[in-house]
Homo-oligomer: A and B are copies of this chain.
Amino acid sequence: MSTEAVATSPTPRAVKGVSSHPLAPLSASEITLASSIIKASWPAHTDIHFKVITLQEPAKSDVLPYLEAEHGGKPLPAIGRKAFVNYYIRNTSKFHEAIVDVSSGRVLYNQLLGPFVHANGDGEEIVAIEKAALGDERVRAEIAKLQLPEGTVVVSDPWIYGADGVNDEERMYQCFLYMRDPLNPDEADSNHYALPLPISPVVSTESMKVIRVDLLPTGADEKIKPIEPYQIKPPNEYISEYQKLRTDLKPLNVIQPQGASFQVAQEGTSSVLSWQKWTFRVGFNQREGMVLYDVRYDDRSLFYRMSLSDMNIPYADPRHPFHKKSAFDLGDAGAGIMANNLKLGCDCLGSIYYLDAVLSDDKGGVMPMENVVCIHEQDAGIGWKHTNYRTGRAAVARSRELVLQSIITVSNYEYILAFIFNQAGEIDYEVRATGILSTQPIDEGVEVPFGTVVHPGVLAVHHQHIFSLRVDPHLEGPNNRLVYDEAHAMPRSDFNPHGIGYYVEETVVEKSGGYDLDISKNRLFKIQNPNVRNPINGKPVAYKIQAPDFQKILSDKDSFNYKRAEFSDHNVYVVKHRDGELYAGGLYTNQSRGGTGVRAWADRKESVKDTDFVLFIQMGINHVPRIEDFPVMPCEILKLHFKPVNFFDKNPALDVPPSEQHFNKSSLLSENHHQPSVEAKIGEDGACCAPKL
């Protein structure tokens, strides 16, 4: 990287005094201030293409004393506000990284990046790329050979170019072409993924011109055939007008007559939530979307920071240009900027509170993002129960959950991302994968072992989804350790004469690195604070991580896919904390070449024992498409759990009020239950869990 001169003249528009919380996202005025400071550092009329203007989080070592003061009701230290900025000189390869002190109005750092360092895509750019691809003469000439019906609308899906080391220094998009139903071309929501075309233009973002037109292999091998006239195939629409909808689904409403049990304190651009002994701060940024900070239960600290760090989706088709399909949806696009505007009654059910956010646009202005997080409570069935068979008394508590949900659309796919809290001191992170399969054309009668035909002429290629959740623990203090338990059979001995004994052994992870689950040993990772002991059993307080195992990345170790997806080969990465090391695939994933992400950090082989470490926890799906996944796939759900282990002195949900009819107001259905009966009769004392025997 070469360094450029940093503009030294502060602008007159610096924000005086600091009132925002140090972890609050940039405000609208901070965003525009940062961009104007950057603009002012360049000659007038320089056309700057802003990619990201986001909070540069202060050093953790500065924030921790602040949080301590905040929770202790003491005077708060002043922490300056800084913006992290990425920008191009528009339509050049000149990609910059800068830090602006918005408190003082100074550019602290400003650097030209590269080579092989490229920015994420953005919405405005993607629309421009679509136009460039479809406007190109060579592309039009290839489309003409298809002899599509008059009026057919061709659609271009720009894809991040990936990287394979073959002439890929330049920043490009690989566009895949589709069409709307040619017999119904006015339907703007026609599912074009059901009608893929074998033409794939490549567009340079420097020239914004098509630099190559690839034709796609459509047989079982890598052969490319010249474009032939298109034979009409049926559409496969997902919007409701084209379905014969079910008519026998009755409404189900979730009512909270006294309102919700959570409180939201909106503090500028961040929000502090409190619910059932939990408190935490919610931020939101372009890349990660939702970020949780300072997560506490009953005012005991658990996590400094939690967020989805990145995801990688490598595809199985080895043929050019499909082999380059390996998206990093956070690094290449951004979970924040792709967040859906969630609608009441559509995306959540019940009593809903929405969070808004402000992000930046490509001109350095503000992009208001409404309803990007929805917050609600849900019933999660029985939380715990025991019936004393001697007295017949049942003690039962339902489990209430608090959900923070965000939904992102990344071109064809959707991800529904949620942090879920419960009353037993547990946090879940849930991913629902839905949306539309990325498709490509296939000749009639052809089958391939790397994909599934999901519609006549349509191949959906197998692909992996590998998610990396970043967790910065702070379990009762800064010096934690990662340990794992394993269960082993005892050898036969005088102590174990019948060969049935087993024991659990704990191992401390000493060094940074990638570590794996082993179900044959029931291996279980725990975050532990050895300095804080359980008052009853003397064990160190801990939280365990229950994450589903998954097949690691299948691309070989010499491949660009493997080198780039630095989190894809282990269930857990643990590294020593360093400020700024937030993204498992590295800061810049677009056409990246590896070596800048978590695998590289782990390779420092630093001690992670009894110090400040960070975890990257992976979950994955090897998505072998079924025809049932088309035209929109039913959610595939992944869930990971953080659960206390000897952190409390008993079941922390023991104080949840008993589940009783006067509170729950369920309805008894009779055999002909077209209308629910009136509220069921209950015992004189209102208790419903009466003796059975």
Contacts and interface: CB of A to CB of B under 8 A. Distances in A.
Interface in A654-672: 654-671
Contact of A434 (B123, B385, B652): B385
A416 interface: yes
A260 interface: yes
Given A414-B387, A495-B319, A352 B669 contact: yes
B499 A664 contact: no
B522 A551 contact: yes
B551 A548 contact: no
Interface in A356-373: none
A635 to B, nearest CB: 6
Instruction: Count chain B CB atoms within 10 A of each CB in A221, A384, A411, A561 and give the residue with the most.
Output: A384
Interface in A204-257: 221-222, 236, 238-240, 243-246, 248-257
A673 interface: yes
Contacts of A348: 666
Interface residues of A, number: 192
A5 interface: no
B386 A414 contact: yes
A412 B388 CA distance: 8
B650 A688 contact: no
A500 to B, nearest CB: 4
A220 to B, nearest CB: 10
A139 to B, nearest CB: 18
Interface in A379-407: 379, 381-391, 393-396, 398-400, 407
A238 B689 CA distance: 15
A340 B253 CA distance: 28
Contacts of A449: 503-505
Interface stretch (A24-32, A303-311, A482-490): A482-490
A520 interface: yes
Contact of A522 (B260, B341, B622): B622
Interface stretch (A55-63, A104-112, A626-634): A626-634
Contacts of A628: 424-425, 643-648, 650-652
B634 A349 contact: no
B346 A660 contact: yes
A294 interface: no
A643 B635 CA distance: 12
B498 A318 contact: yes
Copies of this chain, complex-wide, total 2
B551 A487 contact: yes
A340 B379 CA distance: 21
B256 A189 contact: no
A261 B250 CA distance: 5
A589 to B, nearest CB: 16
A137 interface: no
Contacts of A631: 650-651, 654
A276 interface: yes
Interface string A429-445: 00010111000000000
A549 interface: yes
A268 to B, nearest CB: 13
A299 interface: no
Contacts of A635: 381-384, 399
A53 to B, nearest CB: 21
Contact of A254 (B240, B399, B666): B666
Interface string A611-648: 00000000000101011111111110000000111111
A39 interface: no
A309 B257 CA distance: 42
A426 B318 CA distance: 32
Nearest to A392: B341
B498 A164 contact: yes
Contacts of A250: 256, 258-261, 377
A519 interface: yes
Nearest to A257: B251
A128 interface: no
Interface stretch (A69-77, A82-90, A552-560): A552-560
A345 B657 contact: no
Given A253-B665, A266-B671, A628-B650, A500 B450 contact: no
A455 interface: yes
Interface stretch (A141-149, A473-481, A572-580, A674-682): A674-682
A434 B384 contact: yes
A536 interface: yes
A559 B436 contact: no
Nearest to A690: B343
Nearest to A505: B449
Nearest to A338: B389
A508 interface: no
B351 A561 contact: no
A629 to B, nearest CB: 7
A168 to B, nearest CB: 12
Contact of A249 (B400, B534, B552, B650): B400
A669 B353 contact: yes
Given A255-B253, A264-B671, A246 B436 contact: no
A404 to B, nearest CB: 13
A395 B240 contact: yes
A509 interface: no
B411 A389 contact: yes
Contacts of A188: 388, 390-391, 393
Given A453-B537, A499-B559, 16 more contacts: A189-B388, A249-B276, A250-B260, A251-B258, A253-B257, A264-B673, A266-B671, A341-B692, A344-B682, A345-B661, A345-B680, A386-B435, A389-B411, A450-B502, A488-B554, A628-B644
15 contacts: A239-B393, A249-B657, A252-B377, A254-B379, A260-B673, A343-B661, A343-B689, A345-B665, A349-B379, A353-B671, A383-B634, A504-B624, A537-B627, A628-B650, A631-B654
Closest 4 CB pairs of A and B: A345-B661, A318-B501, A449-B503, A318-B496
